[in-house]
Structure 1
């Protein structure tokens, strides 16, 4: 169940009597470390109040398709990008039919069409409705499209019938939600990740650095552990918690980072997501530099090149499968392709940091991965957590193919 830690789950509550179980499900998901946002249909509100689910989730419940309180009144797009998993429990026969037909006439159905997250349904209905050929056809069609069905279970129903159609219990649904994140594509693989900025001292008080927050590298470390890898994370100065089951090594300068990486070798895969300073001051002052009244308004610093961490590691005799990052503000794909060749990489991840919505310190990203044959694979804008899982799966496929 640790796979739910820090995962973002949108819980959709449809209009069925089983909605009373949704309250317990919110608690079970949060107990495992998930962040839960609730979306309710009009029918769902007839069975359980939004106030109850707001209190349990810790967030306002989303009710309306056009929400004036949401950014640009586009709440469904915000939630679609935010979610790692959309779990609808209960999913009524009506809701399944609308989803099968691609109807988007409320917030929940619109969100399902707009998200690239995994979608799962927990059916809940009368046993005769579940057995009906139309419902069965809808269930089959939804599964063919990649939507998971959790249940239903069998037993006594609110109407007095006995049979298939009961929504699964909260514990079972929470476990199945966790299973959505179980990907052991990197079992036993040793993975080295660099993250965050480096700092290059000018004097004991001042330094040169960049805007990197480390969020992408830390998300990759979490996704890699989830995929079964043994992860070493070498990080520059950041304010982020260490992902569970990750060995973290904190460094400051580019030379510190190179030394830590070399000490962590051999590795099977290297993902160099850190934003390493290319240059450092040639001389670090022993004491704080003071203003010189005779120097005018300027300060002259002689800079020297830092070691190229990525090229150094990718050039070793025992080189790992090497993945670099190219954070650029112009000519993104051209510069990334050049870096791929110059540093002898297997893959490079191109990131347009000139776009503030996917640049440094942002919560989302959009990337293009380029391989040795200069083939490009684009990943659409979404949360860094989802991008990380998609990228880890992509890297694992290419690593195993090699």
Structure 2
């Protein structure tokens, strides 16, 4: 008889803040937050420890608002490389219990322990052992949802394990009607505030209402509400509400080649002049092409996105264009980016920019032309890439990046927009 599938979702409590407290034991009993640099318009709370949350501080609020609530909070600047290192250490701990570990985010991972029970005990015993080992070796407190699928393990963690004293909760298939279905629909995984409002207006205020609506009828209701293209969403919500998820815990899911390579940047102030904007577009083009060259791919389609700062009156666009030939040469991509940007920019202030390449192909196979200097640029960029890989991106950069508009110097000391 095939054993019952056992999947866990392990979540690290207030991960960035917990890592900082583990690194600074003298801060154990103090309210602590991890926040960006307020001088560069990034003074946002990225993580708050439970003591800080008890003061009413929440993630994503401004540092100024948090200080008003709790003037004595300890503020730590993010150290992204350190958090990545600790996350990898925790992954190694999970893999000592199962070879089926799939990262979901930097602080959440799925673990399939179906085949581990003969070695480590019952699912609850395994979860407790994982919890103890992570805390002993890293100082981080983990919460684990235990269930029969990834989606139900996620809800078991978010809805119960994070809220009880043990930090553990098991949600069985037979428990859905009693424990999951009576909950408000906003507690359902993937149901945001807008979708919650729609479900309520459609007469489905609880998860059970969605689960018990026949799929054909749910599709019909959502077609009337959103149009003919809503069938996929209807089926997704129906499956989530009923705990249906056959997807495996796949250790190498995030190691597959991407379909697109892109970078985006939130600027420290509004950029009004094309000359300033072009500096950022060049820096983004260079970052995208550098990554593509490192992966051995070229892009055939270039995309450009821009957004203004006023979220109440949104301005912006996202457009793409096919290039004559696939490339990963910075100057060629930049020229295409500037043409596309000029075509669609409405001369409004810009606060956020993005550049990406898609339709990726092998970087070693391309059409040779008598009328470009691709080989010269490729040789130059191979040399600069090697320098940057060895000494960091700040070792060599374009002169325009040293102007007031340039952001490359600041970004060179960050990962994912945050300091290392």
TM-score under structure 1 length normalisation: 0.28
TM-score under structure 2 length normalisation: 0.27
More helix as a share of residues: 2
Which protein, 1 or 2, shows the higher relative CO under an 8 Å CA cutoff with sep ≥ 6? 2
